[in-house]
Amino acid sequence: MDWWPYLALFGVAFAAATLLPAQSELVLGAMLAGGRHDTGLLLTVATAGNVLGSLANWTIGRFLRRYRDRRWFPVPSSGLDRAERIYQRWGVWTLLLAWVPVVGDPLTLVAGVLKTPLRLFLPLVIAAKLGRYLVVAGAVTLLTGT
């Protein structure tokens, strides 16, 4: 079995969950459409990479919150403030939006800043990330008939 495509997908999915520009949905969709890789393994690898990227955001928020106004902090103060308002209004359930572009990544960072316990963080983020990739897989299936 050739593991390189799976490792590449993991890396892109991890990066996509952080504040780095990456499109894991496109990579996953292309790999699914190619039909050369195991669908279940692709979904597992993409979800694992994306969840671990979100966990990196949580860790940054948890342990570096005092540096939030520094230039090098990975989320602009305005984005963090917006995510905090959403998070404080709706609570941990906002983590189900962790898959949403632009807002989702800061929400996982805010969860760390606000010290959300991992026992709440992980199940919600896993559900959100897996849900997004299942939608991608469904769309590819509908479009390609595979």
- How high is the mean pLDDT of the chain? 90
In tens, the pLDDT along 23-59 reads 999 999 999 999 999 999 999 999 999 999 999 999 9
Residues of the chain above pLDDT 90, percent = 60
Q: Is 100's pLDDT higher than 90?
A: no
pLDDT attached to residue 64 = 76
Q: Is 133's pLDDT higher than 90?
A: yes
Taken in order 1, 136, 104, 127, is the CA torsion positive or negative? Answer: negative
pLDDT attached to residue 40 = 96
Identify the band that residue 20 occupies on the pLDDT scale cut at 50, 70 and 90: confident
Region 124-134: mean pLDDT is 97
In tens, the pLDDT along 76-98 reads 777 777 777 887 888 899 999 99
Domain encompassing residue 135 = 4-144
The string of DSSP codes covering 72-133 is: TSSS-HHHHHHHHHHHHHHGGGGGGGTTSTTTHHHHHHHHHHTT--HHHHHHHHHHHHHHHH
Q: Is 67's pLDDT higher than 90?
A: no
Region 109-116: mean pLDDT is 89
Q: What's the structural domain count of the chain?
A: 1
